[in-house]
């Protein structure tokens, strides 16, 4: 006996013994048995669309198992595809700007590279970035990213951490395939620096005495370093001179700083719909970002006291008043101006490259980083 089901993405078929029926709902099949005790034989076959799973799974077979120890529900069982069929798809289709991996092939082509290693290099950068997001959401306890529920909310902390670990290890496998010790060195140093940045940020949480210099050090390590590593790898695979490599290091670093500065400004000036996450998430975590630091330094005594207390406690009950204080003190204007300066420095670093549509593309990435609303 078989029962077919279809969702918007995954189809399933239950092959069951006599006395059973099945009902398809959302992404799961519920199996009902009229037998006492229910017969254990049978299985559910889930069919995944082509390209759904980057690991290559197209079909998954799971046994039908009833729970005889439950006297109230021993004739019913619900079977869903395991998390690993959904989580990779969630990562691949969760939106995002993809600036980090995009900068790699564009920079390589701007250097005149005509091979294919830039594709693997871009994948390395994106895998590492995705891994850091999976781990960050567990650490920070965020429930919303890019307008969607985070992986840890949908699949649990264990699945998020383990898939993040898998992405890290897969990134290093791709590095080995590129067969260049310099790329391994760059990425090993970058991942270590990123981890240091995350630890520094954690140490800085709920500390209203963090300075602008402290803040810039954190965002360089946790954000700009990966941009920098990606554009540096582009120069390495293109076999460029030291001068060009240094220029692309500078481009990536300043692009990453501009990107994060705008991110931190948007946390207090965009709408949740535009931003794709809850406004004030950073404040709820007690993170003293530049808009807050500037407002504490340049606002009134009452505003300073209000913001310091919010950072210390992670409280968002005065979020509207804090947003107003950031605006009136010039915190948003100052942060976006700092971002503009970093973007200009990124663009200036490209002067060593010959004119091309790809160099223009890098300029466009820097401009997008500071003019976006999400």
Q: What is the DSSP string of 3-16?
A: EEEE-SS-EEEEE-
12 pLDDT higher than 70: no
Same domain, 164 and 46: no
- What pLDDT score does 269 carry? 87
pLDDT tens figures, 124-170: 999 999 889 887 777 776 666 655 677 666 667 777 788 888 889 98
Same domain, 103 and 29: no
Backbone angles phi, psi at 64, to 5 degrees: -85, 115
- ∠ Cα 307 311 316 (to 5°): 80
Same domain, 129 and 23: no
Distance (Å, rounded) from C-alpha 367 to C-alpha 69? 62
Same domain, 102 and 216: yes
21 pLDDT higher than 70: no
Same domain, 95 and 220: yes
Domain's final residue, options 27, 59, 81: 81
Please report the sign of the dihedral spanned by the C-alpha atoms of residue 120, residue 121, residue 122, residue 126. Answer: positive
Q: For residue 361, what pLDDT band results from cuts at 50, 70 and 90?
A: very high
254 pLDDT higher than 80: yes
Strands, DSSP E only, in 115-191? Answer: 144-145, 148-149
Those residues whose C-beta lies under 8 Å from the C-beta of residue 333, and which sit 6 or more positions away, are none
62 pLDDT higher than 90: no
Same domain, 215 and 267: yes
- What pLDDT score does 273 carry? 63
- What pLDDT score does 229 carry? 98
Strands, DSSP E only, in 114-219? Answer: 144-145, 148-149
pLDDT tens figures, 293-338: 999 999 999 999 999 999 999 989 999 999 999 999 999 999 999 9
- What pLDDT score does 72 carry? 41
Distance (Å, rounded) from C-alpha 272 to C-alpha 23? 37
239 pLDDT higher than 60: yes
Average pLDDT, the chain: 81
Q: For residue 7, what pLDDT band results from cuts at 50, 70 and 90?
A: very low
Compute the average pLDDT of residues 113-133: 93
Compute the average pLDDT of residues 233-248: 98
CATH number of residue 246's parent domain: 1.10.600.10
- What pLDDT score does 279 carry? 77
Structure tokens at 319: 């979020």
Compute the average pLDDT of residues 75-101: 60
86 pLDDT higher than 90: no
Higher pLDDT, residue 59 or 160: 160
- What pLDDT score does 260 carry? 97
Same domain, 54 and 191: no
Same domain, 53 and 116: no
Element (H, E) at 302: helix 301-313
The answer to whether 22 and 43 are in contact (CB under 8 A) is: no
Same domain, 95 and 179: yes
- What pLDDT score does 280 carry? 84
pTM: 0.76
Domain's final residue, options 41, 63, 81: 81
Give bridge partners of residue 46 from the DSSP assignment: 12, 60
Number of domains in the chain: 2
Percent of the chain with pLDDT over 90: 57
76 pLDDT higher than 60: no
Q: Which domain holds residue 215?
A: 88-371
Domain's final residue, options 81, 104, 124: 81
Same domain, 154 and 221: yes
Q: For residue 222, what pLDDT band results from cuts at 50, 70 and 90?
A: very high
* Least confident span in 90-94, 132-136, 186-190: 90-94
Please report the sign of the dihedral spanned by the C-alpha atoms of residue 368, residue 150, residue 85, residue 33. Answer: negative
Residue entry with tokens 């959904």: 86
Q: What is each CA distance from 75 to 10, 16, 37, in whole angstroms?
A: 25, 13, 8
pLDDT tens figures, 277-298: 677 888 988 999 999 999 999 9
Same domain, 139 and 184: yes
- What pLDDT score does 88 carry? 56
Q: For residue 373, what pLDDT band results from cuts at 50, 70 and 90?
A: confident
- What pLDDT score does 15 carry? 56
Distance (Å, rounded) from C-alpha 138 to C-alpha 136? 5
208 pLDDT higher than 90: yes
Backbone angles phi, psi at 251, to 5 degrees: -60, -50
Higher pLDDT, residue 135 or 266: 266
Structure tokens at 201: 């940020």
Strands 20-25 and 28-33: what pairing? antiparallel
- What pLDDT score does 275 carry? 62
Same domain, 214 and 343: yes
């Amino acid at each position: 006996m078989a029962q077919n089901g279809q969702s918007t993405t995954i189809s399933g078929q239950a092959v069951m013994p006599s006395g059973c029926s099945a009902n398809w709902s959302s992404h799961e099949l519920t199996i009902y048995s009229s037998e006492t005790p229910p017969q254990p034989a049978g299985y559910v076959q889930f069919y995944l669309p082509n390209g759904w799973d980057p690991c290559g799974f197209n079909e998954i077979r799971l046994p039908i198992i009833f729970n005889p120890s439950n006297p109230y529900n021993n004739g019913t069982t619900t079977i869903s595809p395991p998390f690993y069929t959904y989580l990779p798809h969630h990562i691949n289709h969760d939106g995002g700007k993809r600036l980090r991996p995009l900068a790699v092939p564009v920079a390589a082509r701007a250097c005149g590279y005509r091979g294919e290693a830039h594709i693997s290099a871009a994948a390395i950068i994106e895998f590492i970035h995705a891994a850091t997001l999976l781990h960050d959401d567990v650490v920070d306890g965020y429930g919303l990213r890019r307008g969607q529920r985070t992986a840890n909310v949908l699949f649990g902390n264990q699945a998020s951490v383990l898939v993040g670990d898998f992405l890290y290890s897969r990134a290093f496998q791709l590095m080995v395939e590129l067969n260049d010790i310099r790329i391994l060195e760059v990425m090993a140093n970058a991942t270590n620096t990123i981890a240091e940045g995350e630890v520094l940020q954690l140490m800085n949480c709920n500390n209203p005495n963090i300075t602008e210099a402290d803040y810039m050090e954190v965002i360089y390590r946790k954000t700009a370093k990966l941009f920098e590593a990606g554009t540096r790898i582009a120069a390495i695979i293109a076999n460029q001179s030291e001068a060009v490599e240094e220029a692309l290091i500078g481009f990536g670093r300043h692009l990453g700083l501009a990107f994060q500065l705008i991110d931190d400004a948007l946390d207090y000036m965009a709408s949740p719909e535009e931003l794709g996450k809850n406004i004030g998430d950073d404040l709820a975590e007690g993170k003293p970002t530049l808009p807050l630091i500037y407002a504490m330094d340049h606002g009134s005594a009452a505003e300073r006291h209000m913001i310091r207390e919010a950072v210390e406690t992670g409280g968002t009950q005065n979020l509207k008043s804090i947003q107003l204080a950031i605006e009136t003190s010039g915190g948003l204007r100052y942060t976006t101006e700092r971002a503009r300066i970093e973007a200009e420095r990124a663009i200036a670093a490209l002067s060593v490259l010959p004119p091309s549509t790809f160099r223009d593309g890098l300029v466009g990435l820097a401009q997008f980083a500071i003019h976006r609303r999400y």
